Structure 1
Amino acid sequence: MEERKIRVYLYTRVSTTIQIDGHSLDEQKTKMKAFCDYNEYEIAGEYEDAGKSGRSIEGRIAFNQMMDDIKSGTKRRPSI
């Protein structure tokens, strides 16, 4: 019998222009994907909000889309 992989959704976010122009988003994605590979997780969706504050979910379009997709079980890869 084939074992089902755990499904995960990846979300990356930075809040400043400096971080957007730098390597922070790519670093986040690389580390999360390596973690998923190591643990044999299935990536069900990838989401990114660049230049969005972490104080509130308002205006974080990708985050809200991810939450909707989690609730509905939708697979979305890549989302951007």
Structure 2
Amino acid sequence: MARRHRSKANKLPSEDQPLRAGIYVRVSIIEQTEGHSIEAQLRITREFVKRKGWVVVREYTDPGFSGTNDERPGFKQMIDDAFTGDIQIIV
């Protein structure tokens, strides 16, 4: 049975409230962590979100998963959260 999503996506944010951002980061293999670690990616994306004036409401990580795998747990949760309107923008 397919999942049904209740979408708040069509609800526009008010101009006085910042966008609610979800940050997604991953590395596909442990050896890739040098210089591109989850923590380094999070730091960079947090800074980007702050510069934009948005607010981070959730961070999603999938260490050790290939980007070609759509069954990544963090990725799936992020998509669900976007459909329900919990996050308004993905970084």
TM-score grouping bracket, smaller chain normalisation: 0.7 to 0.9
What is the count of residue pairs matched by the alignment?
Answer: 72
Task: Give the ranges of 4+ consecutive aligned residues of structure 1 lying more than 2 Å apart after TM superposition.
Answer: none
Larger Rg: 2
CA distance in 1 between counterparts of 2:60 and 2:68 reads 18
Q: For the Cα contact (< 8 Å) 1:19–1:25, is it kept in 2?
A: no
Runs of 5+ unmatched residues, structure 2: 1-14
Could you tell me the percent identity over the aligned residues?
Answer: 33
Q: TM-score, normalised by structure 2?
A: 0.70
CA distance in 1 between counterparts of 2:16 and 2:51 reads 16
Q: TM-score, normalised by structure 1?
A: 0.78
Q: Which has the higher contact order (CA 8 A, sep 6+)?
A: 2
Q: Which residue of 2 aligns with 1:37?
A: 50
Q: Following TM superposition, by how much is the alpha carbon of 1:3 offset from its aligned partner in structure 2, in angstroms?
A: 1.1
Q: For the Cα contact (< 8 Å) 1:13–1:48, is it kept in 2?
A: yes
Q: Following TM superposition, by how much is the alpha carbon of 1:46 offset from its aligned partner in structure 2, in angstroms?
A: 0.6
Runs of 5+ unmatched residues, structure 1: 76-80
The structure 2 residue matched to 1:25, chosen from 21, 31, 38, is 38
Q: C-alpha deviations, 1:29-73, integer Å up to 9, x for none?
A: 000000111111111211000000011212x00100111011112
Q: Which residue of 2 aligns with 1:48?
A: 61
